[in-house]
Chain A
């Protein structure tokens, strides 16, 4: 197995200055994810599943521990990497998928989806063709491609968001409940795109409200419930 991410002793807490107290999110988490592996995060509400994903993406600063990411430029500790390195990795190797689209005024659906490709150096016309294919795959109607997603319904925005978030194959993909409130067709499109990326070697760590949606993709489960067995084989797991 080619390692992509080694997490060692990772802890996260929040200091709330105005209340003068500390909130612990999770403590001493360790696990490894390899290329093409899909790890499901499990645990009750508040166990810190989403917090862990955001910490791996560095939207949250960890308290302690090491997040060793095996980037194309060699291993780097995401817990301490310079902001500019994190920004670079987010453009090239690490993706974060949520259910929410950050729509921008006066930017069309197809332009928003094509953006990651353009920022990656792919010519604008080719990026646009691939963006339209992705929108079609997720079931966004053709007459909406040139429209502004700011006015779309929640469901349509979510499809645009997924098309955008998954258009560029990445080494590591963090998935924060991307299937929530998605219709059956779009969910099937999402699972098949994830399968494709997994087969191509993308390592994935995901939080799913209904893990059954992605059942066939899951290789391992990491339970964040405190003092629980840290990691188990997929076979033994009751989804």
Chain B
């Protein structure tokens, strides 16, 4: 039913991220079935789908937190070669610290809740080998400022901050090392609508200023619509449809995507 498009002819740049034929099962449950995804440099790829569609599992694989049963993952970066799923634990940790940033829905997963906010960001820099206290402080402050975190609260631990501010600390930590890839797992879910708009706005601005490649996972179509250039729709561990964001929202082809788009308020 879905028509097959030609390979790119005008854009000759290689995709930054390529995931091919990834499958994963937990016992008898197929979490992911032959999933492929690509993202070009500076592009925002949105992944939508309901709980259990496999979208978050796919994102965790892109952050090398999980390994599929089969499939490959490459990033087109200097000094980064081969199937990243084959890397050992140390190499994975180093690659994630220096080249990939992630923001989780739950800040407890990304932050040390009782350490200072600037310390949380500096920790990421320490992992990458930065040792000078002055540089750490300066870089952490710059990242927090870029994330529009109020600088009079640098020393406040995340546990004392609002949900929106916690997400800004996560974001600062994620971008502190200017990663090539930023992964966002439901970054605004659970926030008040007004706070959500501000966080999305910060993400949009950072994306435009720094041309960071982003993959954002959300069940909220509004979030995806605001940020994504291209959208992948997942259901039951499979990709049912992919296309330009406006095409997915205005002319969805698959029955499930139509249901999803029409269900939006």
Contact = CB atoms under 8 A, between A and B. Distances in A.
Interface of A: 14-18, 54, 58-61, 71, 73-74, 76-77, 80-89, 104-107
B257 to A, nearest CB: 9
Contacts of B8: 82, 84-85
Nearest to A85: B10
B109 interface: no
B258 A18 contact: yes
A83 B5 contact: yes
Interface string B225-261: 0000110000000000011101100110111001100
Interface stretch (B95-103, B117-125, B138-146, B196-204): B196-204
Given A54-B250, A61-B251, A86 B244 contact: yes
A23 B201 CA distance: 38
A15 B253 contact: yes
Given A84-B40, A85-B8, A106-B198, 19 more contacts: A16-B258, A17-B255, A58-B247, A60-B251, A61-B3, A61-B243, A61-B247, A61-B253, A81-B6, A82-B6, A82-B8, A83-B230, A84-B8, A84-B230, A85-B11, A86-B244, A87-B43, A87-B230, A105-B198
Contacts of B262: 18
Nearest to A89: B10
Sorting the interface of chain B by its residue count into under 10, 10 to 19, 20 to 34 or 35 or more gives 20 to 34
A211 B262 CA distance: 34
Nearest to B200: A105
Contact of B247 (A60, A74, A89): A60
A87 B244 contact: yes
Contacts of A89: 10
B258 A81 contact: no
B134 interface: no
When A and B form their complex, which 4 residue pairs have the shortest distance between CB atoms, in order from nearest?
A: A17-B255, A82-B8, A60-B251, A85-B10
Nearest to A79: B3
B255 A83 contact: no
B198 A76 contact: no
Given A16-B258, A61-B3, A80-B6, A104 B247 contact: no
B9 interface: yes
Interface in B1-25: 1, 3-11
Contacts of B40: 84
Contacts of B4: 80
22 contacts: A15-B1, A15-B253, A18-B258, A18-B259, A54-B250, A54-B251, A58-B247, A59-B246, A59-B247, A59-B250, A59-B251, A60-B250, A61-B243, A61-B251, A76-B10, A80-B4, A81-B5, A84-B11, A84-B43, A84-B230, A88-B11, A105-B197
A89 B3 CA distance: 20
Contact of A80 (B3, B229, B251): B3
Contacts of A15: 1, 253
Contact of B9 (A16, A17, A82): A82
A82 B5 contact: yes
Contacts of A107: 201
Nearest to A92: B10
Given A54-B250, A60-B251, A83-B230, A76 B9 contact: yes
B201 A104 contact: yes
A214 to B, nearest CB: 25
B3 A81 contact: no
A77 B7 CA distance: 12
A14 B254 CA distance: 11
Interface string B29-58: 000000000001001000000000000000
Contacts of B242: 83
B10 A14 contact: no
Contacts of A82: 5-9, 11
A120 to B, nearest CB: 13
B251 A73 contact: no
A85 B230 CA distance: 12
A81 B9 contact: yes
A17 to B, nearest CB: 4
Nearest to B38: A84
A90 B8 CA distance: 15
Contacts of A86: 244
Contact of B258 (A17, A59, A80, A83): A17
A58 B244 contact: yes
